[in-house]
Structure 1
Amino acid sequence: MKKNIIANIVGKGWSLISNFVFIPLYIYFLGIQSYSIISFTLIIVGLMAMLDAGMTATLSREFAIKTNSKKDLVKILSTLETCYFFIAIIIIGLIYSFAGVIAKNMLNDTKYSNIELIFYLRIIGIGVAFQMLAQFYMGGLLGLEKQVKANFYQILWSIARNALVIIPIYYFRSLSAFFLWQISCTIIYAVTLRMVLIRNISRDLPFFIKPRIDNKVIKRVWKFAAGMLLISLVASVNTQLDKLTISKVLPIDQLGYYTIAMTLTYILMTLINPVDIAIRPRFTALFSENKLQDVLLLYNKLILFISIVIFSIAAILFFNSKEIILIWMRKESIVDKSYMYVPVLTLGMCALTSNLLPFNICLSLGKTKLNNIVGIFSLFLTIPGYWIFTRKYGALGAAVTWTTVQIIITPIYFYYVNKFYIKDKHGFKTFLQKIIYPGLVAFGLGFIFSRIPFSKSIVLVIFQLAFSAFIILFILLKCFLAKADISGYLGLFKFQKK
């Protein structure tokens, strides 16, 4: 599994680098309002994810179960893929039909005409459908623990889609060129992933598998898929409602500034995603083989590992947001309108990353009830919260609402997963020792380092920030890991080698 995690690190590392390199170029060539339109398309992608109906998670889980034969995998893929084709058609139809309503009511104060916005939204609908198909096939590869291949193709797609798009927008300086290029790359990506997935099931399978729905497959997976449908629905609303409210209540350029801050704090999620992606099929496999002690051992080690890594970086983001965005964007006007969101969103992202392992435990067991209860509970806070506080305090009100909800649900979520699913008798103590205490130490150190004056040289500022993060990481390792454990963490997954 270490090989898979390394592959995921490379894949997510490229994603992180591409954001830092190319977003400033998009803004430079197209302007902040155009980038805000691009940001709004991410909201559409997030909202349409609810129509996934749990198919991707179901495919990944079924492909990770060791007792399924190749014949079973073909039936599962054929059945779920047939359903997904209908989903893709629905996505294109919905966005095409409601493009006019969305353009009129959600995109405020743009330099584009209503006709142009409708055109952009309709071509985006095609891209969203194929992007979701690609994620569906990616779920199959991840379930088979083929992270190396999955990340290889994802990096190629990202290079073509996010990096090479600089060529058409350099010459044409238009959103049409931007979206048409990205959609073309996504269609090719989806077709390629399907070919790779089929070949990894069996080299004898033809590319064109006859669409069919196997009732036995539906009967076996429908409960998990239904639970995941509700999770997807709630998660889509929860993750996009802040940005949706901003686009509705405030001028569209405010969404661009907010997205810049959110993208920066998403570094924390990117750091943990490689482990998150690799661990879910591993948990599923261990549960299917009834290796509960291995699950508990891996779970407890990873909680501390995630906390140490996340809080080391979060402390730097929290206290140095202005300097970091200035290094990134190189424009004071952008810094002044976006840096204030970063400390607030950083705290929320710390809470969110702390929930990843408990979330994966639930899905690996096929349990979706807790995820849905927590998600629905959070909606009762976010729906009125975003509307009230965004209207009163602007985008900062949306950031505070999102972070507050994440902080409230984290200990609740952690407690129930520890008590009922992994039977950890020391759940509260574990939460304090492996999440709260490392966080307090990291932020205390981050405050101390932030008091050191910065040089006027950008290179020296980058070095100072990186050095501060390294020292915080080193101190956390020394404080919370015994010497024997540090070397053990380097071989964290050796005991699970196949």
Structure 2
Amino acid sequence: MANYVGQAVTTLVGIVFVPFYLRYLGAEAYGLVGFFVVLQLWLGLLDVGLSPMLNREVARARADANGFTDFRRILRSVELIFAGIALATGLAMTLASPLLAAHWFKVQSLDPAQVSQCLMLMGWMIGLRFFASIYRTALNGMEAQVSLNAINVGFAVAKAVGSLAVLRYVSNTPLAFFLVQLLLGLLEPIVLAQRSYRVLPPTTERIGLAFAKAQLITAMPFGLSIAYTSILWLLLSQLDRLLLSGLLPLDEYGYFSLVMALTSAVTLAASPLSSALIPRLTYLHSKGEIDQLIRLYRNATQLTAVLMIPLTGMVALFGKELMYAWTGNLAASTWASNIIFWYMLGNTFLTFTSYQYYLQYAYGDLALNVKINTLQAIIGAPLITLAAYRFGATGTAIVWCLLQAATFVVSPPLVQRKLAPGLYRPWMRQDLLPVATGAVLVLAVLSLLSGDLIARFNRLEIFLALSVMGVCVVAGAAAGSSLLRSYLARMTHLAPTGHQ
């Protein structure tokens, strides 16, 4: 619940404040904000699998009475590595920013010198966020969800309110925006580190600056497997954004950044459950409680389906209306409508393909994940590149959707039959398909009855209409969930029926 509240607040902050950023900065300058998000994801490759390895090690340490002494050594080693990487990232972006500003972006009205300064600040912000990820991983592995989300919400609100105040009352330039982000970014790793060390069990051993070579060698094969697949995944998932940043005019790339912000925010609605699920599945596997692991895995699938299929379906079908209600920009909404549909449909398949990764992560066996991601990258990267140059954003969206649909067909049966024989059929037939069927039937009826919402309603009315329609779709999905039906049956049976 803490994860869902935290994710809901941070997502809401993004949704509410983006139209104001767009108003004060303009579409071209907002394109720099979109590029910052892409750059941050690409430079996440420098993690080389250390964060996921750290997450798994802290979950395993909780199942071992003496596990935290070794974990503290690993944590200190990761801190030293990440500090070096963060420093190198800031320096590299400082040196590269003039060349990027002059030769990569299609700037129309912005000052190239200011673009260069913004890129330099981006490098230092990415380094700081990269270093802060150590402590987010530690808190998540300890299942300290309340503390982690309180900190995340606090900084999300502070960054949004602070940036908007500066844009409105001091300077409406992208440089001012990024300066506020950097100042608050300096505090973030300090607060997270302090909380992480308070949550970890105390130890009498002094760790110092010693490098835990033996422990890292033992843990790194798993981490390197994740690093390899992370490289492939970022290549596939961010290649379109990187290519289009140089192919589209910066104002259109600003529109594309809005699409990515919307589709990413919707997809992240599943992350609160997965953030709590991954360490718990790992813990159950370490304890040998496989039946409970499978039960939790199936229940989580149903709950995710009830939430995500209606949400992604509504955004896919009514993306134009939602974008208009959000931004008030009809040109951006019209430009984005088909692109939103294909990306959102692809992300629906991706949501449930990700569950195969959670299962492999818990078992510590990523062999199939490596093979599937390798094949996906070999096929997908050339297709995305060709689509970007020939058909622009619409082409990359269609290719993305087809790739995710094909991966969903292949990955679940292979992974589940290897790690949990007998799971695939009930997982698909009882946990996923009934929920999807209920949601799709309601969506089909609503799409036929809704008509042109933009022509008939104002922005607030459109948002309210979409909200009511979304509730109807969730009800249709919930009707297909055996977990929710059994829960309601128990509640009905336990409810008082009058005087006995």
- TM-score by shorter chain over 0.5: yes
Q: Distance in 1 between matches of 2:489 and 2:316?
A: 30
What are the residue-to-residue correspondences of 1:374-413 with 2, within 5 Å?
A: 374-413=372-411
Q: Distance in 1 between matches of 2:479 and 2:188?
A: 44
Greater Cα offset, 157-166 or 462-471: 462-471
Residues 268, 353 of structure 1: 8 Å contact kept: no
Secondary structure, counterpart of 1:172 in structure 2: coil
Corresponding position of 2:479: 478
1:352 Cα offset (Å): 1.3
Corresponding position of 1:305: 303
Corresponding position of 2:497: none
2:450 to 438, 452, 457: 452
Q: Distance in 1 between matches of 2:484 and 2:41?
A: 43
**Cα-Cα RMSD:** 2.2
Q: Distance in 1 between matches of 2:230 and 2:45?
A: 5
2:2 to 1, 7, 26: 7
Supply the AA of the counterpart residue of 1:470.
V
Corresponding position of 1:494: none
Supply the AA of the counterpart residue of 1:477.
A
**Given the superposition, is the C-alpha separation of residues 103 and 343 from structure 1 closer, same or farther in structure 2, using an over 3 Å criterion?**
same
Greater Cα offset, 209-218 or 19-28: 209-218
1:438 Cα offset (Å): 3.1
Corresponding position of 2:328: 330
Corresponding position of 1:172: 171
Residues 387, 399 of structure 2: 8 Å contact kept: yes
Residues 46, 239 of structure 1: 8 Å contact kept: no
Residues 302, 483 of structure 2: 8 Å contact kept: no
Corresponding position of 1:465: 466
Residues 270, 304 of structure 2: 8 Å contact kept: yes
Q: Distance in 1 between matches of 2:89 and 2:306?
A: 40
Supply the AA of the counterpart residue of 1:27.
L
Secondary structure, counterpart of 1:107 in structure 2: coil
1:232 to 230, 233, 240: 230
1:253 Cα offset (Å): 2.1
Q: Distance in 2 between matches of 1:489 and 1:195?
A: 44
Corresponding position of 2:146: 148
What are the residue-to-residue correspondences of 1:25-424 with 2, within 5 Å?
A: 25-65=20-60, 66-67=63-64, 68-170=66-168, 171-202=170-201, 210-423=208-421
Residues 242, 402 of structure 1: 8 Å contact kept: no
Corresponding position of 2:498: none
1:84 Cα offset (Å): 1.6
Residues 284, 364 of structure 1: 8 Å contact kept: yes
Supply the AA of the counterpart residue of 1:59.
L
Supply the AA of the counterpart residue of 2:44.
A
**Given the superposition, is the C-alpha separation of residues 483 and 444 from structure 1 closer, same or farther in structure 2, using an over 3 Å criterion?**
closer
Q: Distance in 2 between matches of 1:400 and 1:320?
A: 17
2:427 to 430, 444, 467: 430
Secondary structure, counterpart of 2:414 in structure 1: helix
**Given the superposition, is the C-alpha separation of residues 220 and 24 from structure 1 closer, same or farther in structure 2, using an over 3 Å criterion?**
same
**Given the superposition, is the C-alpha separation of residues 238 and 212 from structure 1 closer, same or farther in structure 2, using an over 3 Å criterion?**
farther
1:443 to 402, 417, 440: 440
Q: Distance in 1 between matches of 2:379 and 2:257?
A: 22
1:22 aligned onto 2:17 = yes
Residues 234, 372 of structure 1: 8 Å contact kept: no
- Gapped regions of structure 2 (runs ≥ 5): 492-500
Q: Distance in 2 between matches of 1:205 and 1:182?
A: 38
Residues 435, 478 of structure 2: 8 Å contact kept: no
Secondary structure, counterpart of 2:412 in structure 1: helix
Supply the AA of the counterpart residue of 1:456.
F
Supply the AA of the counterpart residue of 2:256.
Y
1:238 Cα offset (Å): 1.9
Using structure 1 for the length normalisation, give the TM-score: 0.91
Residues 36, 252 of structure 1: 8 Å contact kept: yes
**What per-residue deviation string (whole Å, max 9, x for no partner) do you get for residues 387-435 of structure 1?**
2112222211111111211111112121122111122x15145324433
Q: Distance in 2 between matches of 1:131 and 1:97?
A: 20
Q: Distance in 2 between matches of 1:138 and 1:372?
A: 25
Q: Distance in 1 between matches of 2:225 and 2:320?
A: 41
Secondary structure, counterpart of 2:480 in structure 1: helix
**What per-residue deviation string (whole Å, max 9, x for no partner) do you get for residues 468-489 of structure 1?**
2212221222234277523489
Supply the AA of the counterpart residue of 1:179.
F
**Given the superposition, is the C-alpha separation of residues 483 and 91 from structure 1 closer, same or farther in structure 2, using an over 3 Å criterion?**
closer
Secondary structure, counterpart of 1:213 in structure 2: coil
Using structure 2 for the length normalisation, give the TM-score: 0.91
Residues 318, 346 of structure 1: 8 Å contact kept: yes
**What per-residue deviation string (whole Å, max 9, x for no partner) do you get for residues 312-337 of structure 1?**
12222122112111110012122122
Greater Cα offset, 376-385 or 286-295: 376-385
